[in-house]
Amino acid sequence: MAHTLPQPRTVRAAAALRGTIAVPGDKSISHRSLMLSALAVGESRVEGLLEGEDVLATAAAMRAMGADIVRQDDGVWVIHGVGVGGPLQPETALDMGNSGTSTRLLMGLVASHPITATFIGDASLSKRPMGRVIEPLSQMGAEFQDTPGGRLPLMVRGISPAVPIRYTLPVASAQVKSAILLAGLNTPGETTVIEPIATRDHSERMLAGFGAELTVTPSPEGKVITIRGQAELKPQNIVVPGDPSSAAFWLVAGSIVPGADVTITNVGMNPTRTGIIEALKMMGADITELDARTVGGEPVADLRVRHAPLSAIEVPPELTPSMIDEYPVLFVAAAFATGTTIARGAEELRVKESDRITAMADALGACGVRCEEFEDGMAVTGTGGEPIPGGATIATLLDHRIAMSMTIAALNARDPITLDDAAPVATSYPIFFDTLEKLGAMA
């Protein structure tokens, strides 16, 4: 799945952005719908699946472990699962491409089965630390052979029966939580995760929907999530809502481009994912929620955003877990605000597909934006709504969110901005540039 040749792309300022668009299916929900459907007994159907490279890596891995996964001509994915306890020994290494979610969650799935799997990935994924997952899964009895630093390539030797554990998350990570819960599915007894700081709860919602015996209770320690293992998952029909992380690019674009008026349909509004909307509204963004409803057990709404003057804020730290992936584009919004926006408590950004703090500080700085980098975040001084200078070539560092965020920045820049490689966008949003052109911009 590695990109062989860079795909440079130059983006120019947009006169206006207008129209109604849909964003791809939620990436987090798409990954989990494939994994849990593959562990159910019978036929599941998934509509609206994100067909980006990250999710396709998950589909390929589940096929390698015995699930029958087919995309129909109408875009619906049909999965015949192997049942909890049924995954087979993969014959070759599992290529995760650029997908940290696929890697960490599937490490959990493999950990409690009597199979051995080798995980490989591209240059970016191979730099990302996996120790935070290795540690609890080792407590459950799985064995690991990893590259120094807890990185890929990495081999997991699962065990059955695994040992149930009670584990308090040392960092706010939905991926670590989900890996432990997936391992707990095939572990006798009760496996418990304590979450001192709440993270996205798609795993809990979906596990319960598939019939797992799962409880979520508040406590002085935090949220306590307990799963009883060796359950039989029931097949489901799933409708994946639009990804709020993808919608965030258009919410910022609509806010910073004069004359913009954009409506984004069917956006997932899970409260563990809406931090970016709250932050932008605090800055003065004109965002209206329309037709709030529930689809497939998840709250959704249409979002209308119109150009509005933005003001700097100090981002409340409690919003960080619900918008960690949206910080790069929030920094772009800050570049057009009046005053200096300060974001702290986001050190997790340093271990994403790239070091997103340094990557965005370098990218915005090259385009004439004043940034001050902290170990756990950044301060960005905005233009008060005026165009940024632009004119730079940006190192996207194999990171889809850096590429898309700087594309949005270019929409209100005096001089065009060039991405050294736009190819990583395909990992999460294959139609991103097509959507940009639909709204009236040229890229």
Q: Which of 51, 61, 75, 54 is nearest to 110 (CA)?
A: 61
325 is in an annotated binding site: yes
128 is in an annotated binding site: yes
Q: Cβ distance 155 to 122 under 8 Å? A: no
Alpha helices in 223-367 (DSSP H): 244-256, 275-282, 327-335, 356-366
401 is in an annotated binding site: yes
Q: Exposed, middle or buried, 368 (CB in 10 Å: 0-12/13-18/19+)?
A: middle
Q: Cβ distance 109 to 96 under 8 Å? A: no
Instruction: Report DSSP letters for 85-129, one per residue.
Output: T-PPPPSS-EE-TT-HHHHHHHHHHHHTSS-EEEEE--TTGGGS-
Among 325, 362, 399, 421, the active-site one is: 325
Give the bridge partners for 381, in sequence order.
Answer: 340, 370
Task: Let me know if 399 is a catalytic residue.
Answer: no
Q: Is the peptide bond before 389 cis (omega within 30 degrees of 0)?
A: no
354 is in an annotated binding site: no
What letter would DSSP give residue 164?
P
28 is in an annotated binding site: yes
236 is in an annotated binding site: no
Q: Cβ distance 350 to 357 under 8 Å? A: yes
d(CA 206, CA 184): 15
223 is in an annotated binding site: no
18 is in an annotated binding site: no
Q: Residue 230: left (phi > 0), alpha (psi -120 to 50), or beta?
A: left
Question: From the annotation, which residues make up the binding site for 3-phosphoshikimate?
Answer: 27-28, 32, 173, 175, 325, 352
Residue numbers belonging to the annotated binding site: 27-28, 32, 100, 128, 173, 175, 325, 352, 356, 401
> Could you tell me which residues are annotated as the binding site for phosphoenolpyruvate?
27, 100, 128, 175, 356, 401
Would you name the residues annotated as active-site residues?
Answer: 325
